[in-house]
Structure 1
C-alpha cells in the first residue's frame, strides 16, 4: 500500500487502512530479518491512513483527514478508560529505555500512535447492544446471534435486553473473518483468556455506551482487539478503539423520532460510501469499485468529524 520511508523507521506492513513501522535499529540487529519483524521489536508505529475500504476493496479517492480523526478519537477513548491496560508506549517503560527510539515524523504526528507490540489474540471481540447489520440477518435466520438465543419478535434496530458478546475469528490475510460461538473462542484461546476477553469487552462497552448516551448518542455495537503483554501476560487493549470504523453510533433523538430504519439508524461512519457503492457498483459485472464522487467523499468526512464534535473530543 505504501513505499514511503521515514528517517529511523522501516515500513513492515500495510493493511487496508493502516501502515506499520518499526525502528530501523531493531532490524539492523538481525541481519537476516528472520521471522516476523514485529516479533523483533518491542514497539511499533501504527499510522492511520486516509484510505477507505468497503466490500473488501480499498477505494479511491481517500477521505481527507480520516486517519487523523480516527487517531484522535482512539486517543480520547483511551483517556476515558484509564483502568483498562492499553498498548500505548510510555517513554518511561523500562523495556523502551534501552532503545534509541527515533522521533515520530512530524508529518505523521496527528495520525501515528507509538505502541508496544502485543501477542494479539486472533479474536475480534464484538459487543452488540442493539440488533442490526449482520446480527439482524443472523437473527432473522436462526433467532440467535453467535449462538446466543434472543427473544422472539425483535425488529431491526431494537435494543437488546442486555449487551451480548459475539466474537469472530480473525482469518489470515486475504480470507474473511468468521463469526464464532463463545465455545469456539474457548477452543482457540483457552477458557481463562476467553472469559477475560468477554468480561473486558462487556465492561468497556457498558462504560462507553453511558458516555455516548450522555452526549445524545447511541453506541449500538463495536469491536475490540486484545493481545497479551509480552512481559507480563496481561490482557491488553490494542488497535483502534470505539472509532467510526470499528463502531456504530446513532443520534439518540433521531432514533426515537424516526420510523424508517434508514433514517432511524443513520450512522456516523462510512455508511454513505457503502450505500453509494451498493447503488452504483454491480460486482457481478465490474471487478473493481468505481471512483467515489467528490460529494460522497465530502459527506463521509463530515460524518467522521461530526462524531468527534458530538463526543466533545
Structure 2
C-alpha cells in the first residue's frame, strides 16, 4: 500500500546490503547489517567472530516515516510498542502460520524493542489485504471502479466494508520509491501459482482473524500489509504484523462510511504534515519539518492506546528498567 502505514521490508537484509539510513547503535556480539526506515538489522557473531547467516537481530527504532521521508523527531517508545504488539499478534496467529521469532533474549541496549529471528528468503511481493475501502484503494475505485484490478460494486464510499477481505498486492519498490499495485496474475508470475495462492489465502485470513479479535476490543483493522519469508517452500510470517505502522486502525464505535475515519495509526502524523500548521509543502521535495512536542505526545498516545486496547495490558516501557 503505497499510501498506507507500511514498514520497510526489513525482515531480511537485501542481498549485498550495506549500512544505510540513520546510524544504528553498536551492539557487542553483533554486526550491523542494514538499516531501513524504522528498523536496524544485525547478525549475531559466531565463536570465530564472523556474522552468522541463519539468524538476524531485528531492532525496531523510535523513528517514524511519512511520505517516503524518515522524520528527524522520533516518537518515544514507538519501537517497543510495535515489537510487543507484533509478539502478541504472532501468538494469536500461531495456528494460521508459523513466524520467524527465535528468541526475545536480546542485548540490554535494545531490550523490549528487538527480537532474534530466523533469516529468510523474503517473498518479493507486498502482501496487502483490505477489509474496508479507503486510501489508495478508494482513489483507484473512484477513478476506475476497481481496487488492484478487482472490479467492485457501484455506490461504495470512503470507509465502506467489503463482504470479505480483498487481496491487493503491490510491488516492493526500492526505498524512496512508491510501491505499485500488482494483479494476481503478476504475483503468480513473480513467485509461482502455489506460493501466490498461499500468500493470498494467508494474507486475507490474517486480516480476518485480526478483525475478529480487534473488533471485540473496539478496534477495526481497515487494511494491513504483511511480510512473508520462504523456508523449505513454506511461508513464514516475518517482520511485524497488525501494528499501527503496517495497518490502518480505526475506533470501532466511530466507524461511519462516507468520510475519512479517525485513526490509531500514523495517519495522524501525515494529517499534521499536510496541515497549514506544519508549513510544509509536500510537492516541494524538501524534507518535512520536525514534529512539535504535542504531535509527538499525541502520536505516542495513539500507539499506546492501540496496544493496551488490543492486549489488555498496561504499557510500561521495559527500557525504563535498564
TM-score by length of 1: 0.87
For 1:286 and 1:81, locate their aligned partners in 2 and report how far apart those are by CA, in whole Å. 40
Aligned in 2, Cα 1:152/1:294: closer, same or farther, shift over 3 Å? same
Alignment of 1:135-154 (within 5 A): 135-154=137-156
Give unmatched runs, 5+ long, in structure 2: 1-21, 314-322
Q: 8 Å contact 2:159–2:258 — kept in the other structure?
A: no
Moved more, 155-164 or 238-247: 155-164
Aligned residue among 32, 49, 57 for 1:11: 32
In structure 1, the residue matched to 2:42 is 21
Establish whether residue 124 from structure 1 lines up as the match of residue 126 from structure 2.
Answer: yes
SS in 1 for 2:253: helix
Q: 8 Å contact 2:157–2:258 — kept in the other structure?
A: no
Aligned in 2, Cα 1:220/1:27: closer, same or farther, shift over 3 Å? farther
In structure 2, the residue matched to 1:261 is 259
Alignment of 1:131-280 (within 5 A): 131-229=133-231, 232-256=232-256, 261-262=259-260, 265-279=261-275, 280=278
Q: 8 Å contact 2:130–2:165 — kept in the other structure?
A: yes
In structure 2, the residue matched to 1:53 is 65
Moved more, 16-25 or 62-71: 16-25
SS in 2 for 1:184: helix
Q: CA-to-partner distance for each residue in 1:78-108, whole Å, 9 max, x for gaps?
A: 01112111101159xxxxxxxxxxx621121
TM-score by length of 2: 0.85
Aligned in 2, Cα 1:250/1:116: closer, same or farther, shift over 3 Å? same
SS in 2 for 1:292: coil
In structure 2, the residue matched to 1:77 is 89
SS in 2 for 1:284: helix
Report deviation, 1:25: 2.7
For 2:293 and 2:201, locate their aligned partners in 1 and report how far apart those are by CA, in whole Å. 43
Q: 8 Å contact 2:63–2:73 — kept in the other structure?
A: yes
Report deviation, 1:216: 1.8
SS in 2 for 1:169: coil
Q: 8 Å contact 2:39–2:59 — kept in the other structure?
A: yes
SS in 1 for 2:283: coil
SS in 2 for 1:114: strand
Higher helix proportion (structure 1 or 2): 1
In structure 2, the residue matched to 1:2 is 23
SS in 2 for 1:154: coil
Aligned in 2, Cα 1:173/1:28: closer, same or farther, shift over 3 Å? farther
Report deviation, 1:176: 2.2
Report deviation, 1:286: 6.1
Report deviation, 1:3: 4.2
Report deviation, 1:272: 1.6
Give unmatched runs, 5+ long, in structure 1: 30-36, 92-102
What do you get for the CA RMSD once the two structures are aligned? 1.8
Aligned residue among 89, 92, 98 for 2:102: 89
SS in 1 for 2:32: strand
Report deviation, 1:291: 1.1
SS in 2 for 1:123: coil
Report deviation, 1:239: 0.7
In structure 1, the residue matched to 2:301 is 302
SS in 1 for 2:46: helix
